[in-house]
Amino acid sequence: MQARHGQSSYRDRTDEFFGVVESRRRSIAPAAENNVPHGGGGGRREDPRSAAANQSEFSKRASLIGLAIHQTSQKLSKLAQLAKRSSVFDDPTREIQELTVVIKQEISGLNGALLDLQAVRNSHNDESNISRDTTTHSATVVDDLKNRLMDTTKEFKDVLTLRTENMKIQEDRMKKFSKISSKESANPFVRQRPLASKPSPSQPAPLPWANGSSSSSSQIVPSRQGEAESSPLLQQSQQQQQHMVPLQDTYMQSRAEALHNVESTIHELGNIFTQLATMVSQQGEIAIRIDQNMEDTLANVEGAQSQLARYLNSISSNRWLMIKIFFVLIAFLMVFLFFVA
């Protein structure tokens, strides 16, 4: 129709105008009964008008779907904001899960509606002779809606992954803050166990993660109790179990902690002993050096003593010689005195 517009300056569109008026008048009436896609069976003679009515019906439904998609994406953005809010204390878990459920239902509803719309369009294409442009238009509309729905679903998945990551980060943070009273780490498992056990198929990604961790913690508890007691333990009501499990874990964990302490103390003691051995061996070397020094000193002193002894000997022997020389000198002096006097 647009091609024809471009060719002539004026066009008699009276027929079109009448058709539009008729379709408007009819679309209000048959809108209620045109919900069934195959409702065009009895209206063959009103083909152009029913075609127009169907067309407007199609466009109305398309617009409804578009509106619903928009609302869903708005809710999704709100959910994304809630999921991004990763504070430790103000955890909007409940709201997030409710919102998730609602969004999932809406998406599945939209999916169904879109499929219906496509079926409608196909049936209309088969029944009435709509122009090629209308066909392409409706096909485009359906495709566009499908794309938008796909984008919304993708965003939804991203938000869910973000949510799981944030929950993991919160877990780590809680464990870090409450390392001493490690009862805290049991609590998220305990808290999520009733969530896991409720028949909630609408719970997406957080569920398998919570299930895995709760199954590991439920293994810890029966292993302590021993064989015969594990069956009555499992038969207890879950309420009591949740209250008791933190206490059991506390007891077990305190025992485990005490054992760890003992082990580390023994380890430290081993270390200290090794250091002690090193120090003592070093000091042994020093002692050997001292010993050598003393032996050297002894040798020196003995040598010096022998020298002095020899000297003494030589001195004492020299004295005799000295006396003899002296006597000889005095004899010569006497002789000289005799000669002079």
Partner 1 sequence: MNAAMKITALLVLKAAPETTDPVILANASDVSHFGYFQRSSVKEFVVFVGRTVASRTPPSQRQSVQHEEYKVHAYNRNGLCAVGFMDDHYPVRSAFSLLNQVIDEYQKSFGETWRSAKEDSAQPWPYLADALTKFQDPAEADKLLKIQRELDETKIIIHKTIDSVLARGEKLDSLVEKSSDLSMASQMFYKQAKKTNSCCTIL
Residues that bind partner 1 (CB under 8 A): 225, 228-229, 232-233, 236, 240, 244, 247-248, 250-251, 254-255, 258-259, 261-262, 265-266, 268-269, 272-273, 275-276, 279-280, 282-283, 286-287, 289-290, 293-294, 296-298, 300-301, 303-305, 307-308, 310-311, 314-315, 318, 322
Residue placing its CB nearer to partner 1 in the complex, 133 or 268: 268
Q: Least distance to partner 1 from the beta carbon of 221, Å?
A: 10
Q: Least distance to partner 1 from the beta carbon of 318, Å?
A: 7
The answer to whether the CB of 178 falls within 8 A of the CB of 184 is yes
The answer to whether the CB of 162 falls within 8 A of the CB of 83 is yes
Q: Least distance to partner 1 from the beta carbon of 187, Å?
A: 17
Q: How far is CA 237 from the centre of its chain?
A: 32
Q: Least distance to partner 1 from the beta carbon of 297, Å?
A: 4
Residue 183's contacts (CB-CB under 8 Å, 6 or more residues apart) are 246, 249, 250, 253
Residue placing its CB nearer to partner 1 in the complex, 147 or 283: 283
The answer to whether the CB of 102 falls within 8 A of the CB of 76 is no
Residue placing its CB nearer to partner 1 in the complex, 131 or 307: 307
Residue placing its CB nearer to partner 1 in the complex, 136 or 282: 282
Residue placing its CB nearer to partner 1 in the complex, 85 or 310: 310
Q: Least distance to partner 1 from the beta carbon of 240, Å?
A: 6
The answer to whether the CB of 144 falls within 8 A of the CB of 185 is no
Separation of alpha carbons 195 and 25, rounded Å: 54
The answer to whether the CB of 125 falls within 8 A of the CB of 132 is no
Residue placing its CB nearer to partner 1 in the complex, 14 or 239: 239
Q: Least distance to partner 1 from the beta carbon of 266, Å?
A: 7
Residue placing its CB nearer to partner 1 in the complex, 322 or 333: 322
Q: Least distance to partner 1 from the beta carbon of 192, Å?
A: 22
DSSP helix/strand/coil, 212: helix
Long-range contacts formed by 145-150: CB under 8 A, 24+ apart:
145/62, 145/65, 145/66, 145/69, 145/114, 145/117, 146/114, 148/66, 148/69, 148/73, 149/69, 149/107, 149/110, 149/111, 149/114
Q: What is the DSSP letter of 41?
A: G
